[in-house]
Amino acid sequence: MSDMLQVTDLHAYYGKSHILQGVNMHVGNGEIVALLGRNGVGRSTLCKAIMGEVAPVGKVEFKGRDVAGMKPYEIARLGIGYVPENRDIFPGLTTRQNLMLGLKSGQRDGGDGRWSTEDMFELFSNLRERADVEASVLSGGEQQMLTMCRSLMGDPDFIMIDEPTEGLSPQMTTRVAELLNAISSRGISILLVEQKLAIALDIATRVYVMGHGSMVYEGTPADLRQQDEVRKEWLEV
């Protein structure tokens, strides 16, 4: 399996704080890779460094091209999508308008891309029912769906999704998992930052565990289920 993303000896800082301390990881074509770890170990910073929102020191290769140092909009145009954990919607715009904002310049809804607004409404009937209401009135789960769907409208080849099930009901968490599997089925690689071990191990093809700014474990979900010491030291609260 060739790599969609390859990160080599990546460092990142917030002021004098050394957050990422030599991260090495890769995501293959069509893979769902789960990134696990306790809060504060650098998982979100890693996503931001890959996206260019935090200055990276090291190598970030996307489809063989080093994107470290590029601006976020340049990285997005190459085919990387990013769904931050803060549900970054435009509250004064309708659901449909939010989705349309995800299109790249010159891209038509339902044109050459893998996704259309109709696809999103097929996946989530809730969004169809609220297509023409302001996004501010959507529930937290619906806003999370909208954020993910808007990113997909830009037709990325690789998408990073940070804590998509945070604060969601079990039913909505199941819907998010269904969307992640639907994304993967269209050949899109996923880096999933997730706190809930069950959902991550259920849908991921491979797992990284992060601790103190670097990777401390890599393996399959089945392997991690057998690693009691790893889970106790790096994951359990």
pTM of the complete model: 0.92
For the cut 80, the answer to whether the pLDDT of residue 151 exceeds it is yes
Instruction: Give how many domains the chain has, as a whole number.
Output: 1
Highest-confidence segment of 15-19, 82-86, 178-182: 15-19
Range(s) of the domain holding residue 45: 3-234
pLDDT digits (tens, 9 = 90+) for 191-223: 999 988 888 999 999 999 999 999 999 999 999
**CATH number for the domain including 51?**
3.40.50.300
Query: Using CB atoms within 10 A of its CB, is residue 118 exposed (0-12), middle (13-18) or buried (19+)?
Result: exposed
Q: Which amino acid is at 48?
A: K
